[in-house]
Amino acid sequence: MFDWKFDGAIFDLDGTLLDSMGVWREVDRRFLGRRGILYEEDYAEKMAALYYDLAAQYTIERYSLRETPQEVMREWDELARDEYINDVKLIPGAAEYLARLSAAGVKLAFATSNNDYLALPALETHGILHYFAAHAYTRETRKDKSEPDVYLLAAERLGMEPGRCVVFEDVPRCVRGAKRGGFRVVAVACGAGTEARAELEGCADAVIEDFTRLLGDGSRG
């Protein structure tokens, strides 16, 4: 699939390792539906790259809501918590690929806009949390994933320069953010539409549908 080697790998979670984008669409639909607002796909795309409080503020401004960001986030948490613990699945081949990389001595981290109280239980449920030597959250950098800061933080915590790491992402603007940090980026296009896939192919170093192909060709990377 790609023949370059790497010593560290940094994974996005939602949409890349966790098949959770449907969860957030359902959370968004229910949240907006309670207010009589029609869910729109461009809203989901914008939200994918924003940290939680920035996403809440964006939602309030976009729809002229009266709630505070804290109230919006609290409602999102209530809608999402059970889904993450009980219903979120892994992208096909993800657990096996993490195991292969770990066995080969590749250091693993994740970089996410999600919150630890949602992400960590999902990773623990699927038995993959222990693979990650480092975690990085956009709340720590105060920059969304269109900027490279969270990926750079993850690499720093792995003790590696960006050129030694590969980032796995699923959103074009996040792919571009990681590229600006000097990383090679593999786009995971599982479930992406024709337009989104074409955009990923235009900005990533490689594109995969899911992780099963990487297992099938026997490559480390």
CATH class of domain segment(s) 21-86: mainly alpha
Write down the pLDDT at residue 221: 46
Let me know if domain 8-19+89-216 sits in CATH 3.40.50.1000. yes
Q: Over the range 26-50, which residues count as b (16 or more CB within 10 Å of their CB) and which as e?
A: ebbeebbeeeebeeeeebeebbbbb
CA distance from start to end of the chain: 8
Write down the pLDDT at residue 121: 92
Which tokens go with 121? 């239980």
Per-residue pLDDT of the chain (221 residues; tens, 9 = 90+): 678 899 999 999 999 999 987 888 889 999 999 999 999 989 988 887 787 889 999 999 999 999 999 999 999 999 998 889 888 999 999 999 999 999 999 999 999 998 898 999 999 999 999 999 999 999 999 999 999 999 999 999 999 999 999 999 999 999 999 999 999 999 999 978 888 899 999 999 999 999 998 997 544 44
- Distance between CA atoms of 194 and 191, rounded to whole angstroms? 10
- Distance between CA atoms of 67 and 69, rounded to whole angstroms? 7
3-state secondary structure of 138: helix
Write down the pLDDT at residue 199: 96
For residue 198, how far is the Cα from the chain centroid?
Answer: 19
Contact predicate 140/115, CB 8 Å: no
Locate all alpha helices (DSSP H) within 48-93, ordered by sequence. 52-63, 69-86
- Distance between CA atoms of 33 and 38, rounded to whole angstroms? 7
Domain boundaries, the chain: 8-19+89-216, 21-86
Say what the pTM is: 0.83
Which tokens go with 8? 């560290």
Write down the pLDDT at residue 218: 47
CB-side neighbour CA atoms (13 Å) of 86:
5
Write down the pLDDT at residue 79: 92
3-state secondary structure of 4: coil
- Distance between CA atoms of 203 and 200, rounded to whole angstroms? 5
